[in-house]
Amino acid sequence: MPDGTTITQEHLQEERRTLETILGGTIGGGIVAIAGFVLAIIGLAGTYPRWLLGAATIAIGISFLIEGAAIASRLAELVHESTKGRVEMSQLGSGVTGETLAGLVGVVLGVLGSLNVYPEVLLPVAAIVFGAGLILGAGVNVRINELIVVHREEEAAARFAIRQAVLATTGLQIFVGLASITLGIIALASDYPITLSLVAMLLVSGAFVLSNTAIAGRLLSVLRR
């Protein structure tokens, strides 16, 4: 069945290009998230906490935008193609849209907070937004894992291990998302909104870095084959 073989190879090549695009966004977003993590730590240490919270919020928002934009750009190229016999690329869409929207809103809130526009309100709201973005984006990890499995030739046990690792990372992302939402809500009613928001940003950026590092490692192992 030459035609079937040709179609399969075309699908694999498309998915490989998708993985390469995702890798770029994952690495870029992870690097910026590290900056947010460092800023949150310094802020919690008592050094200009309000200003550093605003800066950390902007950095985390940018990291969401970088990753979401990278995947979205690739999805735009695939949207018109048939998905028969391949991973449903459109299923990445909702998570990507959620991440991108969370990043955009977070950057705006971070800028306004840095300009001292109701920072005790807007920055906790940013923590809530980022938490929701993490939860919505958790499904993206699962879809990326499906693409990775397509390109691997290991036995079923190895594929099962990969899936379990992804599920663990996704579970952590959802847990941190819920924690960030909770901290943001508490911060809005607390006497320590800046401190609680800094903790939320620390958790979000840390989870983002861990998740992106895990994904980037698996993508690199596939693309080097």
3-21 burial code (b ≥16 CB/10 A, e <16): eeeeeeeebeebbbebbeb
What pLDDT, on a 0 to 100 scale, did the predictor assign at position 86? 46
What pLDDT, on a 0 to 100 scale, did the predictor assign at position 63? 92
**Who has greater pLDDT, 212 or 160?**
212
What pLDDT, on a 0 to 100 scale, did the predictor assign at position 195? 96
What does the alpha-carbon distance between residue 103 and residue 186 come to, in Å, rounded to a whole number? 21
Mean pLDDT of 3-12: 54
End-to-end CA distance of the chain: 26
The DSSP code for 47 is: S
Residue-wise pLDDT for 61-112, tens only, equals 999 998 877 766 655 554 444 344 444 444 455 556 778 899 999 999 999 9
- Domains in the chain: how many in total? 1
Taking a C-beta distance cutoff of 8 angstroms, is the pair 75, 92 a contact?
A: yes
The DSSP code for 1 is: -
> What residues make up the domain containing 83?
2-223
